[in-house]
Every structure is written in structure tokens, then in C-alpha cells.
Structure 1
């Protein structure tokens, strides 16, 4: 699904649709598995200190979504090895109890306001969502 159509779908779905989803009725793996959402933001004007400060302001507001268990806002580290990517402006990593909590985050008004009010600042975002691999005894 394209980013814009996914975003529009999430905005239209809203919290009401998720309110009908009970974690108890969800598949066991969806309600138990730690979910990590990691986003890399690339500013349109990476040398603009005002844009950087504005995006940081937005990320701090975004961190108030109640389903987030832990959040880390980062800048590229000064490490220098060939495998390290350092061309982004901010990294946003947050942890959720499970994918259901992350889906609530995606449609939460704070998240929707963040996209609406700050997306003009970035030229692209990269998103890496992850869950833990199953242990051999869980398979």
C-alpha cells in the first residue's frame, strides 16, 4: 500500500475502528509480542536549524501517545564505519507492548496531528518495524 493511501486509510479508520478490537480476541502472537517502530527522518533542508528544532518539537509532542512504552529520539552518532548510515536528521524509535498498541498509535490524534503539522519538513522517512523472532520451543 502506498504511504499516502495508507495514511489516508489510517486517518479515516480512526480510533473508533480500533476500539472494537479486543486484545483478548486477537491472535495470541499479536497481543504478546514486543513491537518496535523505528523511523528515520530526512529533512528537506538538512542544514536549517529552525526546521530541525521544529521537527524535534513535534517528536517530543508525539512521544505523549499513551500506548508508547519507551521512546528514543536520536541524531546520527559520530561513529565512522563503512556500514553505518549517518545521512538522516533524526531517528525515532519507540517500543510497544504489541502490534495492537502500535496500530492504536498510528491512528491516535497526537500521531495524526504530528503528520499533519510536521510532514512538510521532511523529504522522506524510512520505517523499520520489527518483532522478535520465535524461539525454537515456541514454534
Structure 2
């Protein structure tokens, strides 16, 4: 096999491997357009971090947000005991990750009655919130 043929085979094989590893949401739709996905990542620091009851109430409140039609996926978590590294910030107490089909759905979620109720009932539980919204490419 010549060097050029080997290089072409490796390049094509690598491109196919990357494409196969992409999630379905990152692949083109039948009309050839990519469907954008919005990931809404929120980190909460509790006002009373020693209170298991407050943590449980916040987690339960977050899980009610799954009832909002625009929310495609919802994951709620707490810090993992992973290796200590300078780039890891696990100082938060509760986190959530939501996935939306597009920014319009994420905007609609913000004013949905279930979200407004969650904020009203649970905002006293946290002292700090950090939000990271990302458009998947």
C-alpha cells in the first residue's frame, strides 16, 4: 500500500469514526440541517449547606421541572468525589442539566408556571446560582 493510499484510508476511517461517535442530535436531519440543542447547566450553593432537608427539598423541586414540555432531558446531581485537580470546581451543592431542542424552548421554559413556582418555593434555599447555557455544535 502506498503512503498516499494509506493516508487517505486513515483520514477517511478517522472521519467515519468521529461521525459514528456523534450523538443523534448532532447529525443532520432529513432536510440536511443540524438541529441545535441547548444545554442549560445550573449550579446551586445552598444557604444552609449542612441541612440535608434543604438539599432534598431543592432536589425535589428541580425534579418537578421535568413536567415542563420544552424540557427534553433533566439530570439532577450532587458533587462527585473525583480526583482533586486545579480545574475541578466541586464547591457547589446541587447541579442540574436540562436539554432543550432550541433557544426558543429554553426561553419558554424560563416563563413557564412550573419554573416560576420552583423559583418562588425554592429560591430561599440557595445563596448562589451559576448558569451556563451552551449550544451544541
- With normalisation by structure 1, the TM-score equals 0.71
The reply on whether 1:104 has 2:92 as its aligned counterpart is no
Alpha-carbon distance, 1:106 to partner: 0.5
CA-atom RMSD in angstroms: 1.6
Does residue 1:44 correspond to 2:85, yes or no? no
CA distance in 2, matches of 1:102, 1:32: 14
Aligned length: 104
Q: Where do 5+ consecutive residues of structure 2 fail to align?
A: 1-32
TM-score, normalising length: structure 2: 0.72
**For the residues of structure 2 that align with 1:32 and 1:98, how far apart are their CA atoms?**
8
Q: Which among 81, 93, 113 is matched to residue 85 of structure 2? A: 81
Instruction: Please state whether the residue corresponding to 1:91 is helix, strand or coil.
Output: strand
- 8 Å CA contact 2:39–2:136 kept in 1: the answer is no
Instruction: Look up the match of 2:129.
Output: 125
Give CA-to-partner distance per residue, 1:36-65, whole Å, 9 cap, x none: 100001100111111111111101112211
Q: Residues of 1 paired with 2:63 and 2:39: CA distance?
A: 18
| Gap regions ≥5 residues in structure 1 | 1-28, 134-139
In the alignment, structure 1 residue 90 sits paired with structure 2 residue 87:
no
Q: Deviations over 1:55-98 (max 9, x none)?
A: 11101112211111111101111112221111101111000000
Question: SS of 1:63's equivalent?
Answer: helix
**Greater Rg, structure 1 or structure 2?**
2
- 1:60 is matched with 63
Q: CA deviation at 1:32?
A: 3.8
Runs of 4+ in 1 over 6 A off after TM superposition: none
